[in-house]
Amino acid sequence: MNYKELYEQWLNDPIIDEATKAELRKIAGDEKEIEDRFYRELEFGTGGLRGVIGAGTNRLNIYTIRKATQGLANYILQSDAYKPEMGVAIAHDCRRMSPEFSTEAALVLNANGIKTYTFESLRPTPLLSFAVRHLGCVAGIVVTASHNPPEYNGYKVYWSDGGQCPYPRDEAIIAEVQKVTFANVKTMPQSEAAAKGLFNVASSDVDDEFIKNVKAQCLNPEIIPDSDIKIVFTPLHGAGNEGVQRALREAGFKNVFVVKEQEQPDGNFPTVSYPNPEDKAAFECALKLAREKDADLIVATDPDCDRVGIAVKEGGDYQLLTGNMTGVILTEYMASQMQAKGKLPANGAIISTIVSTDMTREIAKAYGLAYMEVLTGFKYIGEKIKEFEKSNSHTYILGFEESYGYLAGTYARDKDAVVASLLICEAAAYYRKQGLSLYDALQALYKKYDLYRETIESITLKGVDGLNDIKKIMSTLRKHPPKSLGGSTVKEIRDYKNRLIINVPNGAVTPSTLPVSDVLYYATEDGSWACVRPSGTEPKIKLYFGAKLPSGSTTDNAIAKLSDMNKDLKEIVEKALA
């Protein structure tokens, strides 16, 4: 069926409600809009669903949510892991339609005889990860589009270990979702589901235990009550407000100032165009308050509170730190303090992703810790934690990814901006006691190790044409890889789609041990690197760059190096699009 026929089918299908049909009638005659809404079904990928809210098969709405959940229900009922007493925990963030999508998902599961635990209001994504484990659930769902623009929402699936589903479980769930048609989705009234004990609301005990586990990750809790550091916090209208404030308050921080304009949940994100703590513009309100209060530190969490960005006072104003910068500060702080207290395990491990800074590897080496790389996506870090628990091979210390996601502790299996916020503030209090700011601590790391700098560029390519352009770019790069980047020869190419690692000088090929993913990675002779991957959640292709320069090099040197690397790679990308 082509997109026009699907459009007409939705207009005439008795299953589709009148409000949805009215929305579709408004686009009658707009061929491009109809095509974009119906040229495909919104893909249920390895991380679940994410898309623009609206009517159509290529949009997020109650029908696409129900269809995905029916596929999940079918998979659960076939799973050996499922027992009738087990349920599914479901949380949601602040976005438009998040509460409604959360309820719709629960009622589909209930209609299939699977009990659910929802929450009375929005909750951070990491709390859902914790709740799955705490409540003994078979699976979990979070309705969120993370830091995407306001028009988006999404749906992520977790398994019984509290982590997002890795291969091959992810593909098995996708296969079940693909079998479902809108006509064979089951649902039921909420009143009936509640009367049968299928629709449940989780108690506050889940929140209490979550915060208890978060606070347990502190390494120097005794210094916090006496610290005079001033902290400005903003949840950017999202789910982090109560959890982060509670964790900081109960840990003993006294001078915490919340950005009032952004404190309350609002899926329209009225004060920011892009609710992402990676974006400097998202800090505008927080910076204003920080200057008024002469704050030492700004902490900003994203809408579902799994990512955190910070700005630190430096030279009379504030310096925003990248996710990599925060990650290495946390790695050094945790490793050094555990070592000082005699708590650093001999088999300790730090985990990060292939597109995160290589500086973490050097820090891990300095403290005798194992360093492991995984593909982009925190589910792979969660998978490693599970592997450690089964084999007792390593003790997990910290995992992070450059996109501002961190997790200390194993109570959750997804990145947690609540614990990250607490540990960042604790580290700030600790270094303050040594007469240093977090910025000073970072500069000390660049002297102790080499200078590492990273950057990322996203190229947005929307719609059918954009999808084809992304494929064209990846194909061109495989046929015509860069020979050098930023003046340094490419010595190794890693093609994760074909699971190949190519030694360029001698042509030797070895297999990659990481899962299949449409990612290309280039390592250069001077220790720098670049990576290209299509985004799994947005219509973008992402170019990552990492530069390594000798200790004593300047920031300007690093910026110039990164710019040259970007220029070299972009030449191939632009030729592909010509």
CB-based contact 70:186 (threshold 8 Å): yes
SS3 548: strand
Identify any residues that bridge with 92 across adjacent strands, giving them in sequence order: 143
- Token pair 């409540």 in the structure block, residue: 135
Alpha carbons 39 and 28: distance in angstroms, whole number: 15
403: annotated active-site residue: no
Alpha carbons 417 and 242: distance in angstroms, whole number: 12
Alpha carbons 139 and 145: distance in angstroms, whole number: 19
Query: Taking the CA atoms of the chain, what radius of gyration do you get in angstroms?
Result: 24
Distances (CA, A) of 154 to 218, 314, 466: 32, 37, 20
Supply the DSSP symbol for 24. Answer: H
Torsion on CA atoms 475, 477, 480, 486, rounded to nearest 10: 170
Alpha carbons 256 and 379: distance in angstroms, whole number: 32
| Amino acid, res. 230 | K
Catalytic residue among 98, 102, 146, 528: 146
Do strands 488-495 and 484-485 pair parallel, antiparallel, or not at all (unpaired)?
A: antiparallel
Supply the DSSP symbol for 311. Answer: E
Helix (H) or strand (E) segment spanning residue 489: strand 488-495
- Tally of helices (H runs) and strands (E runs) in the chain: 18, 23
- Token pair 């902290």 in the structure block, residue: 231
| Active-site annotation, residues | 146
